[in-house]
């Protein structure tokens, strides 16, 4: 049961496997506490949103789950394996089961889109050049960029760059895809298209999606489940379906965050 007593999942989705679990996780930079007491599950095939005000620690949580920042306390479970208790080599291999799409798309500007998508395949697989080319083309087609493999990032729009970033993050067929503020810097139409892409990929490939977002339209459109982080108390205040939290949470900060802007409409 989440902190605010709201139903946290669709009963129909109960029984879904836990892909990632946090157990009493504490995160700090040096002595500075960012978040503590983080315990929640991310279920396989869900779009899970990490939300909360600016600077509350959303990216820090993502860094911890993706293996880049060790928690000061607690455990991060990936399919029941404790990520930070693994020897570094095994942890690195497990981290490759994740794909990450950063805010800018993080593409190499000197490489074409096809070369950008091919790069992780060249680095981490023994596939030959023809197989890599085919996979890169297929991933670009999945994100609606079938005809753009030969373009450079500077030659396409911001929304297309983000799509290409998704194709690259998917190169190694990740179990989980992480998105850091996917709609940042996009016009509303491109932002909605990216939301649709996230849902399409979730539905067609069954990939678990973890999305950091401030964008309420996007949070309500794509979020199956979520956690709300509070920057003042430095802990989570609620987990659950964002629409249900918006309508039923009895925690003031959560409702205020999820209902902001509504009073003007």
Ligand X SMILES: Nc1ncnc2c1ncn2[C@@H]1O[C@H](COP(=O)(O)OP(=O)(O)OP(=O)(O)O)[C@@H](O)[C@H]1O
- Interface ranges with ligand X (CB under 6 A): 29, 34, 52, 54-60
Task: State the minimum distance, in angstroms, from the CB of residue 103 to ligand X.
Answer: 9
Task: State the minimum distance, in angstroms, from the CB of residue 214 to ligand X.
Answer: 6
Residue 58 or 139: the one with the smaller Cβ distance to ligand X is 58
- CA separation for the pair 129, 243 (Å, rounded): 46
Residue 53 or 144: the one with the smaller Cβ distance to ligand X is 53
Task: State the minimum distance, in angstroms, from the CB of residue 33 to ligand X.
Answer: 9
- Of 103, 117, 114, the C-alpha closest to 169 is 117
Residues in contact with 175: Cβ distance below 8 Å, sequence separation at least 6, in sequence order: 19, 79, 97, 98, 207, 208
Contact (Cβ atoms closer than 8 angstroms) between residue 98 and residue 146: no
Residue 68 or 150: the one with the smaller Cβ distance to ligand X is 68
- HEC assignment per residue over the chain: CCCCCCCCCCHHHCCCCEEEEEEEEEEEECCEEEEEEEEEEEECCCEEEEEECCCCCHHHHHHHHCCCCCCCEEEEEECCEEHHHCCHHHHHHHHCCEEEECCCCCCCCCCCHHHHHHHHHHHHCCCCHHHHHHHHHHHHHHCCCCCCCCCCHHHCCHHHHHHHHHHHHCCCCCCEEEEECCCCCCCHHHHHHHHHHHHHHHHHHCCEEEEECCCHHHHHHHCCEEEEEECCCCEEEEECCHHHHHHHCCCHHHHHHHHCCHHHC
Residue 95 or 184: the one with the smaller Cβ distance to ligand X is 184
- CA separation for the pair 167, 145 (Å, rounded): 9
Residue 148 or 228: the one with the smaller Cβ distance to ligand X is 228
Residue 144 or 185: the one with the smaller Cβ distance to ligand X is 185
Task: State the minimum distance, in angstroms, from the CB of residue 60 to ligand X.
Answer: 3
Task: State the minimum distance, in angstroms, from the CB of residue 35 to ligand X.
Answer: 8
Residue 28 or 248: the one with the smaller Cβ distance to ligand X is 28
Task: State the minimum distance, in angstroms, from the CB of residue 61 to ligand X.
Answer: 7
Task: State the minimum distance, in angstroms, from the CB of residue 125 to ligand X.
Answer: 31
Task: State the minimum distance, in angstroms, from the CB of residue 95 to ligand X.
Answer: 19
Residue 34 or 211: the one with the smaller Cβ distance to ligand X is 34
């Amino acid at each position: 049961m989440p902190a605010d007593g709201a139903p946290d999942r669709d009963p129909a989705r109960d029984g879904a496997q836990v892909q990632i679990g946090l157990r009493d996780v504490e995160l700090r930079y040096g002595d500075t506490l960012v978040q503590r007491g983080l315990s929640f599950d991310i279920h396989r095939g869900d779009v899970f949103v990490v939300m909360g005000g600016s600077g509350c620690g959303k990216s820090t949580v993502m860094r911890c789950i993706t293996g880049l920042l060790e928690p000061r306390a607690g455990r991060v479970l990936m399919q029941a394996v404790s990520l930070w208790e693994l020897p570094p080599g095994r942890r690195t291999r497990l981290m490759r089961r994740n794909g990450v799409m950063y805010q800018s798309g993080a593409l190499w500007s000197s490489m074409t889109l096809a070369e950008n998508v091919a790069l992780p395949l060249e680095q981490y697989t023994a596939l030959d050049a023809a197989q890599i080319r085919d996979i890169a083309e297929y991933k670009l087609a999945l994100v609606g960029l079938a005809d753009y493999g030969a373009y450079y990032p500077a030659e396409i729009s911001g929304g297309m760059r983000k799509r290409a970033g998704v194709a690259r993050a998917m190169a190694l067929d990740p179990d989980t895809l992480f998105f850091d503020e996917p709609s940042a810097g996009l016009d509303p139409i491109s932002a909605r298209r990216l939301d649709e892409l996230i849902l399409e990929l979730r539905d067609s490939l069954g990939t678990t999606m973890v999305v950091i977002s401030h964008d309420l339209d996007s949070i309500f459109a794509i979020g199956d489940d979520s956690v709300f982080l509070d920057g003042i108390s430095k802990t989570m205040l609620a987990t659950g379906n964002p629409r249900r939290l918006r309508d039923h949470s009895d925690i003031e900060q959560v409702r205020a965050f999820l209902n902001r802007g509504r009073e003007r409409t």
